[in-house]
Amino acid sequence: MNFAPLPSVDAVSVPVGGLVLDVREHDEWAAGHVEGALHVPISDFAARVGEVTEAVADGRRAYVMCRVGGRSAQVTQYLVQQGIDAVNVEGGMQAWDAAGRPMVTDSGKDAYVL
């Protein structure tokens, strides 16, 4: 059986205003995240997949992100299998931070990658 390569992009290629789907857990999100990202922790994903499909119902691409790319790869693979335009962000939030892309917190404290 042949598997198609997982669609992926680097953090620099995620467009400003693109739909970022952050699948990290709550403590990781609280430490720092992409402003405007949709937060659906992988541990809640099965129960909340409807939120994701609703967010991409207009054909938007989902840029799936975790800390380094492993959990987001699993979610990206699932979404692609469902016919959703999704790509894994290589290197995750660590790559995002290293590229100097902006991060925010809900608390207003300095953002960092946990």
Annotated catalytic residues are 66
Distance CA 65, CA 74 (A): 10
User: Rounded to an integer, what distance in angstroms lies between the CA atom of residue 12 and that of residue 58?
Assistant: 24
Determine what percent of the chain falls in helix, strand and coil, rounding each to the nearest 5.
35, 20, 45
For 14, 15, 56, 100, the CA distances from 79, given in Å and listed in that order, are 18, 20, 10, 28
